[in-house]
Structure 1
Amino acid sequence: MSTPGELETDTFTLAEVVEKVHLPSEDWLKRRLNAGTFSGRRAGKTWSMTRSDIAAMIVSLGPGLDVPTGPLAVPEPPAPADLTGLTRTSRRRLGRTP
């Protein structure tokens, strides 16, 4: 680990981070980096993380690394609140004919 004021030169690819920290996938991590949930370095389209970025990510995930996995990790899109504005064909396609 680097001392305060010293630039960190050790960086890790997302594949390495996912393997070391046991995260669900590279895409899961990339989405959170793009959203700004975790810090990292981006060069073009490639993300990398330093040791301090990884440590901050682990701290923010909390005890036990409560990382959502499996089919519950992707929430279902919300249903439209008002179906009255839809045509008969649209309601049929949605499978919700009143």
Structure 2
Amino acid sequence: MNQPATITPLLNAISRIAIQPASMDIWDKKYRLRARNGEPVDLSMDDTWQRVARALAEVEPEDKREEWAEKFLWALRHGAIPAGRIISNAGAREHKP
């Protein structure tokens, strides 16, 4: 009998793919959170994922927020990419004009 396919090998392969320079440039120019003075708030793409994950978890009951932030962060780190407006604005309110 055939065993069900597992996604683990695919995720492992994806996690080893280096971020391309063009992708870093787009993140820096469009999605990286910056303070009002222009200084970067997100120092890395992972900082962006952490900010977005925390913001998405804010709608959950307080006792479940950390759990959901971890789940969202896992998804973001493994290829779940929300719309650009979400990446740019989730968790960014205090840094926006």
TM-score, structure 2 as length reference: 0.29
User: Which structure has greater helix proportion?
Assistant: 2
Higher relative contact order (CA closer than 8 Å, sequence separation 6+) = 2
* Larger-Rg structure: 1
